[in-house]
Amino acid sequence: MLGRVNHIAIAVPDLHSAAESYRSTLGASVTEPQALPEHGVTVVFVTLANTKVELLEPLGEGSPIAAFLAKNPSGGMHHICYEVENILSARDALRAAGARVLGDGEPKIGAHGKPVLFLHPKDFQGTLIELEEV
């Protein structure tokens, strides 16, 4: 079911500062900020040879990232995103196996313009998992 790692997401309190650290200190290529209102975040992607790192900050008061940062004020790893060939088939197989899909269970369009779903961290050793259809 799982394909390659699409990205690892790090929640940050200040997106501009975090992106600049990756650019100037690590010499990384960083995309321009992209607001994703339906997900409650603003993101940038650090492009690597084998995957991406997503830096995300809260967008709006109802952002799920705001709650994460309240517990982790300096930021930290938020989720890992795996690619799947068919997100609906993956969702149905995971549900049949007892995994919980967050939200209403219907895919939303993610930062790459592709359908995504999130899986409950309590079902995966405390790690929030995002699935993205490729």
Which residue in 54, 83, 130, 132 is the catalytic one?
A: 130
Q: Is 130 a catalytic residue?
A: yes
CB 19 within 8 A of CB 45: no
Which residue blocks in the chain are alpha helix, DSSP H?
15-20, 64-71, 87-96
CA distance 128 to 134: 19
User: Which residues, in sequence order, are CB contacts of 73 under 8 Å at separation 6+?
Assistant: 13
CB 2 within 8 A of CB 84: yes
CA trace torsion 31, 49, 132, 99 (10° rounding): -120
Active site residues: 130
